[in-house]
Amino acid sequence: MSPQPVRHLTPAEYLDIERRSELKHEYFAGEMFAMTGASKEHNLIAGNVFASLHQQLKRRPCMAFQNDMRVKIDETGLYTYPDVAAVCGKAEFEDAAVDTLLNPTLLVEVLSDSTEGYDRGKKFEHYRKIPSFCEYLVIAQDRVHVEQHVRQDNGQWLLSEFHGADDVVELTSIGYKLSLTDVYDKVELPTDS
């Protein structure tokens, strides 16, 4: 007996399924991948970052989106859900549903054990193909640690790390300062024994 062929979905089929689904899925190369739930710490950190950005971007030509805003990387075809996305200038969307952002300026991912390698590696590789994308924050949820990647004029990426509770990350892409005190507000971090 021959194995059943794997059916690959078109992007349109994926979007149709995803828009009706109660679960969130990434999409790449014809396949959908279910996203797992996030921990309390993960949700607090992502919420803190979004709340801080949202507040600071009022009355400015930038806006922040939470993790329900899908992002599409046109060049690679990946559809994904960053924890936080921000765009300066006019936001561009894939279609009239206005639920798939095409031109983020800043993307934020809160790391978890199951996604850390992907978020730092392949996912960041995909993100770097977005012409408007110029800043990436990777945030640990088990310790105070933020990595900031900023695209330089020569196309290279500059990494800066922050790990002091009083540190402040200057988000050059959107002209904003993000305090690690705000990022980790109410987050219970493990204590060293």
pLDDT in tens, 6-26: 568 999 999 999 999 999 999
| pTM confidence score | 0.92
The overall average pLDDT reported for the chain is 93
Structural domains of the chain sorted by starting position, each given as residue range(s) with its CATH number in brackets: 38-183 (3.90.1570.10)
Query: Over pLDDT 70: what percentage of the chain?
Result: 95
* pLDDT (average), residues 129-154: 97
pLDDT above 80 (res 4): no
In this prediction, residue 68 carries a pLDDT of 92
Q: What is the pLDDT of residues 20-56, one digit of tens each?
A: 999 999 999 999 999 988 899 999 999 999 999 999 9
In this prediction, residue 193 carries a pLDDT of 42
What CA–CA distance (Å, rounded) separates 36 from 57? Answer: 30
In this prediction, residue 36 carries a pLDDT of 81
Beta bridge mates, 110: 139
Q: What is the pLDDT of residues 91-129, one digit of tens each?
A: 999 999 999 999 999 999 999 988 899 999 999 999 999
